[in-house]
Amino acid sequence: MKRRFAGATGIAVAIAVAVGCVEVDEVRAQDAKDVSPLYGVAVPDGYRKWELVAPALEDDPLNELRAVVGNTVAMEAYRSGTLPFPDGTVLVKLAWKRAQSAEFGTATVPGAATTVQVMVKDSGRYAATGGWGFGRFIDGKPVDEAQHETCFACHDARVQGHDYVFTRYAP
């Protein structure tokens, strides 16, 4: 049986090499586009239905309304006050240009979506950056490596005491 599986695998690999290389390369290129440089972080499926951690506003120059949502691991950690966040924590920050409400003079509401930013806790994989992997996406595509180099430096300088996470739970 072992030999037979090895043989079948060998044939499959041979076929893939012979006729599948273009498709394989396309898949790899697609994968590479959709995960962040440096960290290999992807936009998690279904994040838009995750629970709210807190909203925020970014003033000039960004002028954005934001909302951070978290997966189940994240929300349990927030509610129980667990720090550092456990492996498996995923936080996603949604951002929109701030817009003036047409219907209520003093209200600022979300305009066009701008970035989606992701933090993934994996203390082994991301040991060099406080246990966190970062991803910054525009229209589902990660921004460049230079921008990703700024993520941890800023979180490290400002919120090391809160496990490198800016956002607190808003009850």
Contact residues: a second copy, CB under 8 A: 48-52, 54-62, 65-67, 69, 75, 94, 96, 98, 101, 103-104, 106-110, 113, 158-159, 166-168, 170-171
Q: Up-side HSE of residue 156: CA atoms within 13 Å toward CB?
A: 13
Residue closer to a second copy, measured from CB, 42 or 54? 54
Joined tokens for residue 47: 């994040």
Joined tokens for residue 138: 């525009």
Residue 83 Cβ vs a second copy, minimum distance, rounded to whole Å: 15
Please report, as a single letter, which amino acid is at residue 45: D
Residue closer to a second copy, measured from CB, 24 or 62? 62
Residue 135 Cβ vs a second copy, minimum distance, rounded to whole Å: 19
Residue closer to a second copy, measured from CB, 40 or 111? 111
Q: Angle formed by the axes of helices 2-19 and 21-34, to 10°?
A: 80
Distances (CA, A) of 90 to 50, 56, 71, 126, 171: 10, 18, 6, 13, 19
Question: With the CA atoms of 101, 104, 108 and 109 taken in that order, what torsion angle do they form, in degrees rounded to the nearest 10?
Answer: -50
Residue 1 Cβ vs a second copy, minimum distance, rounded to whole Å: 48
CA–CA separation, 73 and 88 (whole Å)? 6
Residue closer to a second copy, measured from CB, 47 or 86? 47
Residue 52 Cβ vs a second copy, minimum distance, rounded to whole Å: 5
Q: Find where tokens 């936080």 sit.
A: 91
Residue closer to a second copy, measured from CB, 33 or 97? 97
Residue 79 Cβ vs a second copy, minimum distance, rounded to whole Å: 9
